[in-house]
Chain A
Amino acid sequence: MKLIYNLIIVLGIFTSISCEKIIEIDIPEREKKMVLNGLAKSDSTDFYVNLSQSISILELDENVQKINDASIQLLQNGVLVGNMLPIGNGSYKIENIHFQTQKPYSLVVNHPNKQSISAEFQFPKKADFKLVDTSYITRTDYGYSFSMFAFEIEINDDPTMKNFYRISIAQRYTYFILNNNGDTIWYVGENKLPLSINDQQTNMIVSETDYYSLVFSDELFDGKKYRMFFNAEADLLSYPDETPTTIIVEQITEDFYKYEVTYANYFYSKDNFLSQPVIVHNNVSNGFGMVGALSQADTTFLLQTNYTVPTFKK
């Protein structure tokens, strides 16, 4: 038996030597590209984007270079709408803009030392939806009970096009601070509630760009009225009487939807050696990044808790 153990040790040594080798990578050095990110909102008059530069996969320092000296033009149907102005740290802004839905917009970025890049987007129509019902449920998972609001909404999907949605729930609240003079100053704040996916809607994902949103496509209900259910985490004691609660349904561009899906897949699988690497969707020509757009529709109701069982006033 001793011979066999010695043999195992010898084999173990053989196996452990030379099991790794640093190889000269033959990845052709690619030109570093400009990276443009931004999300335009139809009901906002301000539009921000961020411009930076990609780095090689072999660079250890991940402090990417922000680009502040580029010229960024916003065009509608190829006609200049305005120039975006740098505001520092790679951010650019354009103000007093009135976006129009279903009109093609583009951003063109020029830089004296870099290849020009561009991105196109078009605002979707506002979603047609209504709140159908609300309720309060207690869910038990693995022995733990959760208090949850349950919502039922009906989306009237436009049959003439592919539609992509992002949904969230916001609650307004008031708070005050005392200023230096001892005066009470009241503010209105907004909290978004964490949402959870109902099992019926399996093509929903939690947004990686806004953790309080769910993202989905009309794949399951294309062109139809569709009633969907989702839940929001609730903490009864934290709500005063009659909390204004808003259901926000945003229609997002297809590019942005694909970005949400691929980015979420990328994020969750990047350390799983069994998964194939995910190519994150990007819509910037000659560069990297995501320029998306959304149109928002919402409905607000009053949530009355009475500190016990909540009721809803539409």
Chain B
Amino acid sequence: MKKRILILLFHFLVLSTYAQKYTISGYVRDAANGEALINATVYQSGTLVGTISNEYGFYSITLPEGKVKLIVSYVGYKPFTEEIELNANKTLNIKLENSNELDEVTISESRVETKVESSQMSVVEVPIQVIRNLPVIFGEVDILKAIQLLPGVQSGTEGTSGFYVRGGSPDQNLILLDGVPVYNANHLFGFFSVFNADAIQNVQLYKGGFPARFGGRLSSVLDIRMKEGNSNNYKVSGSIGIIASKITVEGPIWKERTSFLISARRTYLDVLARPIIAMANNDMGEGDMNAGYYFYDTNFKLNHTFNHKHRLFLSAYLGKDRAYVDSKDTWDNTTNETDFGLQWGNITTALRWNYQIDEKLFANTTLTYSQYIFETGGGFKTTYHKENREDWYKFSYISGINDVGAKIDFDYMPVPEHYVKFGVNAVEHTFRPGVNVFNLNSGDEYNIDTTFGNRNIYTKEFMAYFEDDMKIGSRVKLNTGIHFSAFSVRGKYYTSIQPRISGRYLVNERFSLKAAFSTMSQYIHLLSNTSIGMPTDLWLPVTDSIKPQQSWQAAIGGAYSLLDDYEISIEGFYKNMHNLIEYKDGASFFSINEDWEKKVEIGRGRSFGIEFLIEKKVGKTTGWIGYTWARAYRQFDNISNGKEYPYTYDRRHDASIVINHKFNNKIDIGVTWVYGTGNATTLGIQKYVPYGINSFQLIEYYESRNNFRTPAYHRLDVGVNFHKEKKWGNRTWSIGVYNAYNRKNPFFMQFENRNNKQVLVQYSLFPLIPSVSYSFVFNK
């Protein structure tokens, strides 16, 4: 009740200040499929007065009474113009039509909110169409690998989807799928991400200058929005690739009221390997062996519009990886059976209710559920047929995290000069830090059934925020806000107040200066031995002794709009991080009997750098060139003798060139080239005799952690798409080459004895890899 009174009071105050104005509100959608268009620009012709649509396509603009010419623009769409006699509040739902990039039509009054105009900095939006056209390994379109091509974002190990933003760790990235956190975004040990591009509508990455609505991670927010489903027509699309195929079905259940989307993807390495394994079994003669690996994901979304004020969405994601090996052999009267497997996966669900309270106030209430589980297990069984007896043992290990949450977010647009967002969010996390189950049955002699490991940890997290994107005069635009968070774990409470501010000063129509400052707090840690997104990575909460991770980040920069088609931005940043955790020297996931808190060190990190980006989003040729110069360091009292050392993904130079060119409606080409300074790794330089019993086993002396650089990483990928219109729809053959000039990039290195000489051997993972895939759209 108090909240409602406060909202009304705020409403009244603002309204009383701006009398005799009326509001135009509504939704901006794609005319072809009814999908909401996020961040579409809605503005009054001939002025700088305007706003943008929110995540659901909703916009609201309040203008003085009289004749108004309203223009709505969105990248890749024909602008919409309408003249309105504004003498009362009006609802105007707008449908934008896709433009053909080949039409060289210049629409002088078309304008989208450019980097130059936005108050935000360190934000990149990657159009999903650009992501789809990028050449990728095995032909599998991957959102996270596209993100890695942006300045300020480093890729991890060769071929993997892990990403590192401005010197941060992978656990410091908040990955949201329809607003629900995804805890493990990797398939196949990180070689693929869990996001099926066919089901995705919008991808936005925040690297700094975080708006107050985001919290809970230090380094980035990757906001991925699923498609809503075509509300006009049925559409079936899919693709068949070398290792995976996918299919997406979407359409209206009740035209323009209810629509659905269901998308599924599965790999078939296991199916393809089956005959090869069968041949191997035949060759070996005795016994049967079976092994395989697959992953699948399913995306589902259902939405229903009750009326122009109420809309309900249900979205879900379910994905799983499974690897297994089992064998069976019989000798005389004895049969031995072994099996081993591991599986891991995410489930996310969001039930969302959009409520347009009035022309200026939009509410979004969401119930969320997110789960990540990793399980590994196996066993051995011996059957003695004569004695009619069985000996067996089984073991399993389970870890994971469950979240149940509720949140309510408000968008309030009282006047064009203010875009206010506020809301609250509560989440209950259940951490499962690792439970082992062991069963043994050895005839009548021994029977063991035991469970040991770490107990579940139940925690609660609460967040509240307020932010205002405000224009001050014609040149200054600020996004200010405050984010409050609280976390309770085993009777211990942590709170944090995080001020956020970012702004721009418009020097002229083409050039603006920007600055941002934000503080962040993170109450969960990822305990990871590696950086390749292993399923064994363990999410853990803060405790009495492990404090929340905290950071502050400052950035300054500028944005320049060149020839209307090009946007150039340059940003410098400095980030400071505290209470980071790292495995102690020598500790690993496998020492599972130890209390995890005793396996970690607490320390700090810092990073700084300059990022440069030139991008072109419209026309036949699109793409970007990005370059980052950066340094990232870590310091832990008990690691590397307490001295600061380079972070594993400290990369001084990181460059990427991404080009998509559409020759005509039948052929387009995508080319990417990446270059990065080699990763930091630890190598011994001398050996010496230790004190103690094992004095014959020499100790390798490491000067410091990460004292060595692997050779530089660079790679060229090329992909060509051949489109053809068919009676039933469209088909595309995609042919691509990953690592086109067969660069032997380092995966890992080790010393080995080769021909009586000790040498450093570098192992590479992917040579030149061709790929081909076939995709189709049934839409006629």
Contact = CB atoms under 8 A, between A and B. Distances in A.
Nearest to B757: A60
Count class of interface residues, chain A: 35 or more
Given A25-B760, A277-B682, 16 more contacts: A5-B272, A7-B242, A8-B272, A11-B769, A15-B767, A17-B767, A19-B765, A30-B685, A33-B688, A52-B689, A55-B686, A56-B686, A64-B698, A269-B586, A274-B530, A276-B586
Contacts of A209: 691-693
A268 B693 contact: no
Contact of B767 (A5, A19, A142): A19
B753 A60 contact: yes
A278 B686 CA distance: 14
B760 A22 contact: yes
B744 to A, nearest CB: 5
A20 B761 contact: yes
Contact of B691 (A56, A203, A275, A290): A290
Contacts of A18: 742, 744, 764, 767
Contacts of B761: 20-23
Most B CB within 10 A of own CB, among A20, A30, A62, A270: A20
Most B CB within 10 A of own CB, among A35, A143, A209: A35
Count class of interface residues, chain B: 35 or more
A277 B639 CA distance: 10
A16 B111 CA distance: 51
A194 interface: no
Contacts of B763: 19-21
Mostly helix, strand, loop or mixed at chain B's interface?
loop
B140 to A, nearest CB: 14
Contacts of A279: 585, 639-641, 701-702, 704-705
A86 interface: no
A185 interface: no
Nearest to B747: A19
B537 to A, nearest CB: 11
B598 interface: yes
A44 to B, nearest CB: 16
10 contacts: A17-B767, A27-B708, A37-B690, A58-B758, A64-B689, A142-B446, A143-B448, A274-B530, A278-B585, A282-B701
A263 B700 contact: no
Interface string A1-43: 0001101100100110111111101011010110101110000
A202 interface: yes
Contacts of B546: none
Nearest to B138: A11
A23 B275 CA distance: 38
Contact of A210 (B446, B688, B693, B767): B693
A299 B690 CA distance: 31
Contacts of B618: none
Interface in A51-107: 52, 54-60, 62, 64
A261 to B, nearest CB: 9
Interface in B400-450: 440, 442, 445-446, 448
B603 to A, nearest CB: 13
Contacts of A21: 744, 761-764
Nearest to A55: B687
Contact of B766 (A15, A270, A289): A15
A43 to B, nearest CB: 19
7 closest Cβ contacts across the A-B interface?
A: A265-B586, A143-B446, A209-B692, A269-B586, A37-B691, A278-B585, A274-B529
Interface in A267-291: 267-270, 272-280, 282, 288-290
A176 to B, nearest CB: 29
Interface string B32-59: 0000000000000000000000000000
Interface in B667-714: 682-695, 698-702, 704-705, 708, 711
A57 B699 contact: no
A230 interface: no
Contacts of A275: 529, 583, 585-588
A272 to B, nearest CB: 6
B503 to A, nearest CB: 41
Contacts of B687: 54-57, 59, 62, 64
Contacts of A276: 529, 583, 585-586, 639, 682, 705
Nearest to A284: B688
A203 B597 CA distance: 12
Given A15-B766, A289-B691, A57 B683 contact: yes
Contacts of B254: none
B735 interface: no
Contact of A211 (B641, B693, B766): B693
A267 B587 contact: no
Contacts of B688: 33, 35, 52, 54-55, 64, 288-289
Contacts of A52: 688-689
A216 to B, nearest CB: 13
A74 to B, nearest CB: 17
B66 to A, nearest CB: 67
B448 A54 contact: no
Given A18-B764, A277-B585, A277-B700, A263 B692 contact: yes
A279 B645 CA distance: 13
A50 interface: yes
A227 B94 CA distance: 76
A143 B684 CA distance: 43
Interface string A245-260: 0000000000000010
Nearest to B751: A57
A27 to B, nearest CB: 5
A312 interface: no
A16 to B, nearest CB: 9
Nearest to B763: A20
B15 interface: no
B86 interface: no
A47 interface: no
Given A14-B767, A262-B585, A38 B590 contact: no
Interface in B565-600: 583-590, 594-595, 598
Given A263-B690, A288-B701, A23 B760 contact: yes
A200 to B, nearest CB: 12
A164 to B, nearest CB: 15
B507 interface: no
B749 interface: yes
A208 interface: yes
A20 B744 CA distance: 8
A229 interface: no
Interface in A197-218: 202-203, 208-211
B595 A265 contact: no
Contacts of A226: none
A28 B683 CA distance: 12
Contacts of A15: 766-767, 769
A173 interface: no
B768 interface: yes
